[in-house]
Amino acid sequence: MAHDAKMEDASRGYVYLAMAVVALLGVLLTKRSRTATAQRRLPPGPWQLPVIGSLHHLAGKLPHHAMRDLARRHGPVMMLRLGEVPTLVVSSPEAAQEVLKTHDTVFATRALSATVSAGTMGGRDIAFAPYGDRWRQLRKIAATELLSAPRVASFRSIREEEVAATLRTVAAAAADGRAVEMRAALCVVVADSTARAMVGESCQERDAFLHEIDRSMELVSGFNPEDLWPSSRLAGRLSGAVRKIEASLHTVLGILDRIIQKRLQEKTAPSSAAGEDILDALLRIHKEGGGLQFPLDMDSIKLIIADLFSGGGETVATLLVWAMAELIRNPMAMQKATAEVRRAFAPAGAVSEGEGALGKLRYLHLVIKEASRLHPPAPLLLPRECSEPCQVLGYDVPRGTQVLVNVWAIGRDERCWPAASGGGSPEEFWPERFEDGAEAVDLRGNNFELLPFGAGRRMCPGVAFALANIELTLASLLFHFDWEVPGMADPAKLDMDEALGITARRKGDLLLRPVLRMPVPGSQPMEPTMRRRDRRRCDGSGEDEPWPEWRTSAGSDDGAVGRAAWPRRLEVGQRRRRHWLSAGAFFRWYPSGTEARPGVAMAWSGNARLDGETVEEQGSSR
């Protein structure tokens, strides 16, 4: 018995010793963990709540606006938690340079949320492909085969034809005194130019295709529960965004599959690479296949085309709308840009890309830069992910952190864009800020104070394609027309609110009345009538002088004539179609020379019709 008691006491002693050792190890590990945490310098950020993290700080504002305001308090490198997702927000050129250049490879991987993964088949496209050998191969194909300078130049005739078609339709609206809804008009020309460059004339389901692309972009751009709480099954069930995106993707891939099969059945190849559209080039690479580490399969081809549609079309249309809105609000800049374009192309009678003429429009390029500074199409760029522990401006960034670059805030940073003696605070539209030394600042990612298309390895590969469309379209609109705001005596009061989305679209319709100044080739013959217009110079000097106003010989200010003429004018060099991104009706009818009053909205449908919609004042919310 005594022996058993001794054994029991010994066993109990061993247990106590083991417990003491475990407790000591726990204390040491906890202390070490706290020491490591103290040594790690995480970026500052606002206070957080359980479950939602920092989301309450973004409530009631557009995300890039709210993040700019938070950065003013917490600094240009700031850590948020959006639901479960740790998110680094950088808001200065120096911080952006470290993310996009200094540590480019660390931040080269895209953050794949649940909705983005569903819309890209797990990142099999170019925009969201994980950084690695496959992405490098896709990027090389895009840079050398699809969006190279020679390829973009080969689409010149397509751009000019589509712009000319839209100009003829706008000229008909000008003759009847109708206003134009600019976003719808610009989406038409951009989408048709893009569609013809991508898939030629074979796309019979273009409208359905573009509708599904736009629907997917709207779903991805919201704060979806699946993206904010990826570990929660309940969040996915409540939202359903992933299922909707998968349905849209199924429709898009089905349409593209029919286009590809038709192209393959035709068994006709272009006579040269210069005659290829982008689908031809992709099918050629798919067929040859030699030297590719990762074969270019049909799903990848479809996703690449969808990428180029969604990125190129939306970006260009958004930037063009903002440029026109800013020019309308700033008559001096409008006069200077218009005068420059008309001086350059008056002998030819139309704007053309030939002989590098567009490249010589110095002030027009300043306008495009300034519009890009104030209204970058993607204000937070596309999200990146930190692939390994890294430092940004001395702050530690943990692996797996989502990274957003607030290029909208950088474009309005007072340190980068100080107010000049001649005017031009960071919040004002003032193209002259890019003159002299600042004229070297470009849009191609070389200057980190101006990043509308990003920079570094994941910079938008379609910059040349986008700028070619922007320059030709904007120059043509200014060359042929003067532009007025119906029902608004002071254009400076034009509403400039933005809408929530993956791109920063203008929230309301932009209704402008065109006044034809230079005849549009191919449109109905016009007769000049004289109307006194303000011909003062940009400095305010000069006198009112007559300026010809072009009207159709059969035209009239009578509303009945204008309405009756619509179906006939729609057919003048213009295809009928319903378009994807139309924020409202394409045209709204106004009797010439009057202020805003009840009018007729023209719906862009398979058959032209009158909706009887009342026209509202430009600045009001619709």
Residue type, 133: D
Phi first, then psi: what are they for 502, rounded to 5°? -65, -25
Residues ≥6 apart with Cβ < 8 Å to 220: 113, 115, 116, 119, 245, 502
Which residues make beta-bridge pairs with 90?
77, 405
DSSP H or E stretch at residue 318:
helix 314-329
CA–CA distance, 507 with 488 (Å, rounded to integer): 18
CA–CA distance, 101 with 96 (Å, rounded to integer): 8
Whole-Å CA distances, 467 to 178, 356, 444, 475, 506:
29, 14, 10, 12, 19
The residue written with tokens 């339709």 in the block is 169
Radius of gyration of the chain (CA): 29
CA–CA distance, 550 with 523 (Å, rounded to integer): 12
- N- to C-terminal Cα separation, the chain: 95
CA–CA distance, 130 with 108 (Å, rounded to integer): 8
Whole-Å CA distances, 207 to 134, 189, 195, 454:
31, 13, 10, 29
Phi first, then psi: what are they for 232, rounded to 5°? -95, 120
Extract the annotated binding site for heme.
460
The residue written with tokens 């449109």 in the block is 523
3-class SS of residue 103: coil
Residues ≥6 apart with Cβ < 8 Å to 356: none
CA–CA distance, 344 with 468 (Å, rounded to integer): 17
Q: Supply 60's token pair.
A: 């009631």
Q: Supply 47's token pair.
A: 């206070």
CA–CA distance, 52 with 58 (Å, rounded to integer): 11
CA–CA distance, 2 with 309 (Å, rounded to integer): 89
CA–CA distance, 9 with 493 (Å, rounded to integer): 90
CA–CA distance, 509 with 5 (Å, rounded to integer): 92
Extract the annotated binding site.
460
Q: Is the CB of residue 359 less than 8 Å from the CB of residue 84?
A: no
CA–CA distance, 488 with 494 (Å, rounded to integer): 8
Whole-Å CA distances, 151 to 83, 272, 275, 350, 517:
43, 12, 9, 23, 34
Which residues make beta-bridge pairs with 498?
506
* Helices 182-199 & 463-480 angle (0-180, nearest 10): 130
Q: Is the CB of residue 274 less than 8 Å from the CB of residue 145?
A: no
Nearest to 580 by CA among 158, 256, 299, 217: 217
DSSP 593: T
Other beta carbons within 10 angstroms of residue 282's beta carbon come to: 23
3-class SS of residue 483: strand
